[in-house]
Amino acid sequence: MASTLDQLATFIADTRFEQLPDVLVEQAKRHLLDTLGASLAGSDSPIWRDCLALALAEGGHQQAQVWGSARQVNPRQAAWLNGVAAHMYELDDTGGCDHSGAVVIPAILAALPLVTQPVEGQALLVAMVIGYDVGRRVLEACGGYSAHNGAGWHSTASCGVLGAAAAVCSLLQLDRAQCASALGIAASFSGGLWGFIHDGSHTKKLHAARAAEGGVQAALLAQRGINGPSAVFEAKWGGFLQTLAPETQQPAALTADLGVVWKLARCSIKPYASCRGTHAAVDALNLMLVQHPVKPEQIERIVVGLNPFLLEMCGGRELQSLASAQMSLPYALAARALYGSAELASYDDAKRLHPQVEAFMAQIELVIDEQQGRDDEPWVRIETQQGEQWQQHVSVPSGAPANPMSLEALLAKYRSLAGRVLPVEQVEQLEAICMELDDVADVQEVVALLARA
């Protein structure tokens, strides 16, 4: 029987567009557009500009487009820079490795200049779907999101690098042996810690970028005959699962229903510019404020019942840095109550640091609900000064496959983000080509529209 690594390598090398269900193709196009919108907005951030300056100082052969810029850099740098942009504002998709779009899509578009023939849209979609699939399977093999991230690993980085490598292997049409080596090399590139959560530091923004860059590098090394370890998923000392998930590993998840159950289908598109862990609570508060149009000054207290894992991840109240604010459940609720939404504009310095925010957040209480498991969503209760109380629980947050954003809402999100950087006509052209990507003969047309004049 073929090893787990061999089965994954065969899946990467042999999967073709005809095998993808139509509904999956349509979802992939939406996730592509959503990621590009989030990335273009991210390319207008101070952190990203510092990263660009570093890449330009390094120099190198200029082949690959930097999105939202007139610049080109080498493919490795492009994967890194575009990955930083994609994850900059917490608006990229989730539910894969976790943030698969910010890892996979920068990697495959950065690798395009290395393909000698024009790449059809169908081939790009296949590579994208494979990247999402492998990255998610690796996370599930580590025991799932709460177990792996709860151990201190940021799965977007630790598992995403294997998804990026798989996607680039597909794009470059590497053979099975090369695909296996690329996964082994990518496993050795794995990393990414949750230490940023304690001080609002910037490393989370770099994790998707590092995974995208590592995936490109792993595939290119394998293409040139560099070997990766063959026992990377085996229960042996030094293996990926044995090292990163010794107590929680579930290796069977790597190949269960491979090519039958597509992991992209479980991914979510985010309506809010905050950690996904805050979204169900924002949805719950939104439902109550729509049903009961109470003003912020009439609210006595907001109580949130949540599990210890979510409290550790999203219970912070530090707002000085954008990074810390985007991980804060109390601020996400304050933004919805005070500004009407938790969209990107609500995280601007002027709104985030306004004196009314601190006063309102003091009325938000987070309590541990002992009945909740690590993957359960929180409940929210409003208590008014008039003695009224309303409580709401949203078990499936908006944007999830079971509670999807409408196409209209998705396009509105994309247009608002891409329009921060590109002219309206270019935004519309990019939207049109992404939504018909399976009919595109050369995806360089997409890349050209990501360039800023």
Question: The domain that contains 328 carries what CATH number?
Answer: 3.30.1330.120
Asked if 340 and 362 sit in the same domain, the reply is yes
**What number of other Cβ atoms are within 10 A of residue 360's Cβ?**
21
What φ, ψ does residue 368 adopt, rounded to 5°? -75, 125
What's the pLDDT score for residue 301? 96
Asked if 43 and 86 sit in the same domain, the reply is yes
Are 380 and 284 within 8 A, CB to CB? yes
What's the pLDDT score for residue 61? 78
DSSP 3-state of 394 = coil
What's the pLDDT score for residue 82? 97
Residue 342 lies in a domain: yes
Residue 297 lies in a domain: yes
Give mean pLDDT, residues 343-348.
Answer: 94
CATH number, domain with residue 64: 1.10.4100.10
Nearest to 129 by CA among 2, 6, 266: 266
* Overall domain count for the chain: 2
Sequence-distant (6+) residues with CB within 8 A of 69 are 43, 52, 451, 452
DSSP 3-state of 54 = helix
pTM of the model: 0.93
Asked if 260 and 312 sit in the same domain, the reply is no
Q: Residue type at 316?
A: G
Asked if 382 and 434 sit in the same domain, the reply is no
What's the pLDDT score for residue 158? 97
Asked if 212 and 84 sit in the same domain, the reply is yes
Asked if 344 and 364 sit in the same domain, the reply is yes
Residue 421 pLDDT class (50, 70, 90 cuts): very high
Residue 200 pLDDT class (50, 70, 90 cuts): confident
Asked if 360 and 260 sit in the same domain, the reply is no
Asked if 38 and 173 sit in the same domain, the reply is yes
What's the pLDDT score for residue 62? 80
C-alpha–C-alpha distance, residues 182 and 172, integer Å? 12
DSSP 3-state of 93 = coil
What's the pLDDT score for residue 198? 87
C-alpha–C-alpha distance, residues 169 and 339, integer Å? 45
Q: CA-CA-CA-CA torsion for 434, 130, 155, 435, nearest 10 degrees? A: 10
C-alpha–C-alpha distance, residues 136 and 256, integer Å? 12
Asked if 238 and 113 sit in the same domain, the reply is yes
Residue 230 lies in a domain: yes
What's the pLDDT score for residue 435? 97
Q: Largest Cα–Cα distance in the chain? A: 72
Beta bridge partners of 392: 380
Asked if 258 and 286 sit in the same domain, the reply is no
> pLDDT over 70 for what percent of the chain?
100
Residue 403 lies in a domain: no
Helix ranges, 341-442 (H):
349-352, 355-361, 407-418, 424-435
C-alpha–C-alpha distance, residues 28 and 440, integer Å? 14
CA 77 distance to own-chain centroid: 19
Residue 164 lies in a domain: yes
The chain-wide mean pLDDT, for the chain, equals 95
Residue 198 lies in a domain: yes
Are 193 and 158 within 8 A, CB to CB? no
Burial 286-302 (b: 16+ CB within 10 A, else e): bebbeeeebeeeebeeb
Judge whether residue 1 has pLDDT over 80.
no
Angle (deg, nearest 10), helices 100-111 and 121-141: 140
Asked if 103 and 175 sit in the same domain, the reply is yes
CA 100 distance to own-chain centroid: 5
Residue 344 lies in a domain: yes
Asked if 61 and 147 sit in the same domain, the reply is yes
What is the per-residue pLDDT across 401-412, written as a single tens digit (0 to 9) for each? 999 999 999 999
What is the per-residue pLDDT across 246-263, written as a single tens digit (0 to 9) for each? 999 999 999 999 999 999
C-alpha–C-alpha distance, residues 108 and 40, integer Å? 17
The range of the structural domain enclosing residue 337 comes to 276-393
Judge whether residue 60 has pLDDT over 80.
no
C-alpha–C-alpha distance, residues 41 and 428, integer Å? 15
Angle (deg, nearest 10), helices 160-172 and 203-223: 40
What's the pLDDT score for residue 197? 86
Residue 398 lies in a domain: no
Are 218 and 186 within 8 A, CB to CB? yes
Q: Of 366, 393, 420, at which residue does a domain stop? A: 393
